[in-house]
Structure 1
Amino acid sequence: MLVALLTVTGRAGAQPSEADVFVAEGILALEDKKYDEALAGFRQALQREPDHVEALYYAGVTLMAQNKAAEAVPFLERARKISPSEISVGFQLGLAYVGANLFDEASPLLEDVFRRDPGLDSLGYYVGYLRYRKENYQSALQAFRAGRTTDPNIAQLMRLYAGLALGKLGLPAQAAAEVEQALRLQPVSPLTAPAERLRQSFSESRTQNERKFRAYLRLGGFFDDNVTVRPDPHNSSDTVNALRPPAHESFGELATLHLEYDWLKRGPWTSTVGYTFFTTYDDRLPSYNIIDHLATLNVNRTDVVASMPLISGFQYAYEYLMLGQTELLQRHVASVYSTLVEGPHNLTNVTCRCS
């Protein structure tokens, strides 16, 4: 558990009180890690001034240093009640809540501190962790990115959780890179073995999900009661009646063949080529058969911008469509697009297309 030895706003008064003296002695003992002596000094200060904010705060800090988060909570809650705007008190109380597994109480408190001072040492990790527990992976990643810390263990944890968040967002390559950075921060630490397994799991997951070649064939049948697209009858129009041939209904079959090959997967870059064949066969009116050939090329790049997934790409398609044995359509279509995923319910897409 992180212990934040931060300065609480000083108390007004020209002459230190007896309680102030006990607090000063307690802080010196706390810095020397003489926790029992420090706590005794803070308790003596509180006996003389029960609402002494510094005594309450540092009593909580001392108990936190002794891994007694649940006992620290009452002291810090009283300090928070007296000085609700003090960032250091709110931060330490949030840490005590986390240490006591009171996550619902910790979350709004640390979020408030994060809004006011996102660069506070190690705050980004705790805010990100609480967001991650709520499955708010994108906002958790934002907190981990904004986090600052001088503690190498916290720095490594931030990288690991950032990797987990990226994995949940469907970005295994970036997730593996984050875990790699975590391992470089501390090649030898209690987190090294779990981090190695996590990196391997991201790599294996990506390999298992990568099928280079995909193909499917679909067959079906249909009945069309207006194959010739004849118009409705019109009593006064010979032209309309002439366009209503008697043969206009037909049973038929259809088939689709789709082939796809991932020829490039390197870092954030992926590229796929594909071919689709579609055809219909009208049993009674074969001159209305449709044959469609479609070839495609896709090139994509996946990035993270301000903790938000960004997917950019280029797509080219060539289509050749026949009606019966006659060419009906031939076209080239190229498009460039970029999609920014701001959250689970919102995204922004920009597309430029020409044909």
Structure 2
Amino acid sequence: MVELFLTLKPAPIICLLAFGFLALAVPTASRAQGNFETAEILFTRAVLAYDEGRYAEATRELLQAHGFDPGHTDVIYYLGLSYNAQGNFDQAERYLRRGLERAPKNSDLRYQLGISLYGQKKFDNALNEFLTVYKAEPRKDNVGYYIGLCYYQKKDYETAVGYFRKNVSTQAKTRQLNQYSLGLALRALGREKEAVAELTEAVKIEPAAPIVGPTQQLLTVLQERAEDKRLRLQVALNGQYDSNAAGANDAKRSYGNLINVRADYTFYRSGPWESSVTYSALQTLNYNAHSFDLSDHLLGVNLYYKTHLAEMPANAGLQLSNDILLLGGEKLLQRPTGTFSFTVQEDSSNFTTALLRGQYKGFFHHQDYSSIDRRDAVNGLVGLVHFIRFGGGRHQVNFGYHFDREDAGGKEWSYLGHKAVAGLLLSLPWEIRAAVNAEYHTRFYGDQSAVGGDRADDEAIVLAALSKEIAPKLTLTLQHLWDRNYSTVSDFRVSRNVTSLGMTWRY
């Protein structure tokens, strides 16, 4: 065989060698072609899944395609898209950076990388990527919007406004988001009339979009501020039936009226600070039990400060008030109260309020009581309530917990309390608003020497209401109050139902 090989001329030898190499290369080329075709099939299926919103399925197909063809930049791009759509921004960043190593001038990859960095709150890094894209393609869809968002997060509102105004968007949804963000930036700059104009345009773009609800609420606030409306008035008049006007174990039924007047005046407003005074008066008239008519007068001062907590909008408030309660025309109780509240808005749909309240309850004529019956008390309360808006801000649900402790002069009136609170607000057809608020308050009073044994109360209260604005600033409301206090001491077992129909005028 060696001899045969040596006797061959050079040209045939070269041909023989080439044939051998081809014979070895053909299977490899076939496998590469097969991998490419498999990757293309998987990629096509993944794109269809992505377009239909099945992002997890698209990601699985894309990962398989990437395994067959690691250099397929379209596969890498869609991996970034899919991970971003699922909020898995760190994984999106990982693959998009790989893609940019292969195609550093690919603006689509860089744009998605900017989104993944923004999602991780790496605003400076995201801004660098978006600015690079903007320099290459200033008319690229929504790049101005994202640059504006980055500057907004950095609190450079003036620059943010410039990019929001220059943004180009072919989709109505993103145009609306850009317009809304522009309004927020103008508001942060104190240019509230301009903010009102931009937010009004945002509502017009897509009137049925989810963002319209929060936008309209913000518009109402800004319009009042733009008009420098400092005085707010509210007057309510209800006709009602009360199954237990006395609120006692021995029920006394009565028809009657409830009148409520409230006035708020903002006397100071500068930057993030705002301060106001409040006066309210409430009067019930029980025509079958006038000795249980209630009258309450409250005077208070409020201080608010707008700030941010971990880049989230926040609002701190301090309310100081004193109210005097009269029963049957005679002074019964006064309550100096101080409340500190702190609200954080996690996003456009979620916000949480923390409460800290101190209150003194001073009963008039307490000198007529024995020491065991003295009800003068100090009440302290801490609580946390979370609110969730949905349906474009048209609906809302809330839930929370309060803990309170009351230290009274008479030990039988001292207690530890736990309260669960919840609420639901719905916008119904024909512009009817439905609201349900409920609370369950458990109070442990301890030993009751007068009756022997411990006293524990479980009070459940539900207030349901339907309301409709029948004319500008005039609302018709139908509501029902259900109140049950279950107590281990029979004298404190109370049941009450109040049904009312009334009108409320607001200015």
TM-score w.r.t. length of structure 2? 0.36
* Structure number with higher strand proportion: 2
Of Structure 1 and Structure 2, the greater helix share is in 1
Q: Give the structure-1-normalised TM-score.
A: 0.50
